């Protein structure tokens, strides 16, 4: 599991901004270094990879991303979860952590990348029209689909996994640059524990529980 405080994809942006700040500050005036200096700080902030406390509850499904729940909608099924299911859509602003985490432990049984457009990530149609990368994860109790979707600023989806890779719950598997959306599809035997407008934290917030393993309080 990647544990560096900043993911490697961010270093090129940070170093480029720092070098530009040094050049402008030395060649022109220190004031000219302010803007690229601020950009360097923002890139370090954007590509951050904070530590997360992964829930040990075996019945829990955790959020695959930081952000705000945009909608929760029922579906008849999708390409991987071939049964009645629910889709949770999470919007990531440019201020959210943008690494993606596996919502369950399991093996990647399906993977699909689709080229597309770059509409704003909050638009209802982005899941169908924008660039996206989907993985289907399966274990002995359920299968889920997680989809990274590019937004108007997010012009590259990064994946560090491939078919047959085995992921731990909460493990990092990818990144979307600069504003985006993440969708997770879960079968109906998973009780959804979030609603529209809720703030979620990737790898920590429990967004669903397997119903037949829930215990009454």
In sequence order, the 6+-apart residues with CB closer than 8 A to the CB of 174 are: 99, 100, 133, 148, 157, 158, 159, 160, 161
Indicate the helix (H) or strand (E) that contains 12: helix 11-27
Query: Which entry of 59, 63, 102, 180 is annotated as an active-site residue?
Result: 180
Nearest alpha-carbon partner for 98 in 140, 156, 41: 156
Distance set, CA 143 to CA 55, 115, 174 (Å): 19, 24, 19
Does the annotation count 180 as an active-site position? yes
The answer to whether the beta carbons of residues 201 and 52 sit under 8 Å apart is yes
Alpha carbon distance 97, 109 (integer Å): 26
Q: List active site positions.
A: 180
């Amino acid at each position: 599991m990647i544990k560096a405080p900043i993911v490697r994809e961010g270093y090129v942006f940070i170093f480029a901004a720092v070098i530009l700040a040094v050049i402008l500050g030395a060649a022109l005036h220190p004031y000219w270094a302010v803007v690229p200096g601020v950009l360097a700080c923002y890139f370090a902030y954007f590509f951050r990879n904070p530590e997360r406390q992964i829930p040990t509850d075996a019945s829990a499904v955790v959020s695959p991303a930081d952000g705000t729940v945009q909608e929760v909608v029922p579906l008849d099924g999708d390409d991987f979860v071939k049964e009645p299911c629910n889709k949770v859509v999470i919007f990531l602003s440019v201020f959210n952590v943008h690494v993606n985490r596996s919502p369950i432990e399991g093996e990647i049984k399906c993977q699909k990348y689709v080229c597309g457009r770059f509409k704003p990530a909050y638009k209802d149609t982005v899941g169908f029209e924008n660039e996206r990368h989907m993985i289907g994860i399966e274990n002995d109790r359920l299968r889920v689909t997680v989809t990274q979707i590019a937004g108007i600023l997010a012009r590259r989806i990064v994946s560090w996994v491939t078919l047959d890779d085995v992921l731990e719950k909460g493990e990092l598997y990818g990144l979307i640059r600069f504003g985006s959306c993440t969708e997770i599809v879960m079968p109906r035997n998973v009780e959804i524990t979030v609603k529209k407008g809720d703030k979620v934290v990737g790898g920590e917030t429990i967004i669903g529980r397997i119903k037949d393993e829930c215990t009454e309080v």
